[in-house]
Amino acid sequence: MFEGERPTGSKPQIYRELALMAEGLFRGERDAIANAANLSGLLWMGISDLNWAGFYFLRGEALVLGPFQGKPACVRIALGSGVCGTAAAGRKTVIVPDVEKFPGHIACDAASRSELAVPLFSATRLVGVLDLDSPSPDRFDEADAKGVEVLAALWLAASDFI
């Protein structure tokens, strides 16, 4: 059903194209889980050099695994723990160039070398984290952070939360 190919060009061009694809995928559907599942598939297909891409949702005081692509991962992450818990607790995107140098990094997949975690807000309420892992060191920069933040914002605007 989805005929898109991995976009090419500069990072801003790639993320612009992915944003158009995401809007197409979300059109006519407001289920947050279904849209998260499709966004994780789109990230996996559209962004090079990843070994994990997916969601954690806030459930009480913990982040709980949501739709993702990659190897099976840690199910629960406490707020403030690891890269995802740090992004959630600090309410700010976190770029980690070298996960081995990040205190408290949670190694779900030993292949991960760098990571990008974007917190997700419905209005001002924290609903989760969108997390990308790469097997290459220093894979993510500000252009990736901005691009993934835009995709996260599209998912948030397109989805209803209970």
User: Smallest gap, in angstroms, from Cβ of residue 158 to ligand SME?
Assistant: 23
Residues 48 to 67 in contact with ligand SME, rule: CB under 6 A: 52
Spatial separation of the C-alpha atoms in residues 114 and 100, rounded to whole Å: 9
**Residues binding ligand SME: number (CB under 6 A):** 15
Q: Based on CB atoms, which residue is closest to ligand SME, 34 or 89? A: 89
Residue 144 sits in the site that holds ligand SME (CB under 6 A) = no
Q: Based on CB atoms, which residue is closest to ligand SME, 85 or 128? A: 85
Residue 133 sits in the site that holds ligand SME (CB under 6 A) = yes
List the one residue out of 65, 81, 92 whose CA is nearest residue 152. 92
User: Smallest gap, in angstroms, from Cβ of residue 14 to ligand SME?
Assistant: 22
User: Smallest gap, in angstroms, from Cβ of residue 112 to ligand SME?
Assistant: 6
Q: How far is CA 35 from CA 24, 59, 70, 110, 120, in A?
A: 11, 18, 17, 28, 14
User: Smallest gap, in angstroms, from Cβ of residue 52 to ligand SME?
Assistant: 5
Number of neighbouring beta carbons within 10 Å of residue 154:
19
Instruction: For residue 160, give the DSSP letter.
Output: B
Q: Based on CB atoms, which residue is closest to ligand SME, 32 or 105? A: 105
Q: How many CA atoms lie within 13 A of 43 on its CB side?
A: 31
Binding mask 78-117 for ligand SME (x = CB under 6 A): ----xxxx-------------------xx-x---x--x--
Secondary-structure breakdown of the chain: helix, strand, coil percentages, each rounded to the nearest 5: 35, 25, 35
Decide if 56 contacts 128 (C-beta within 8 A): yes
Contact residues toward ligand SME (CB under 6 A) are: 52, 73-74, 77, 82-85, 105-106, 108, 112, 115, 131, 133
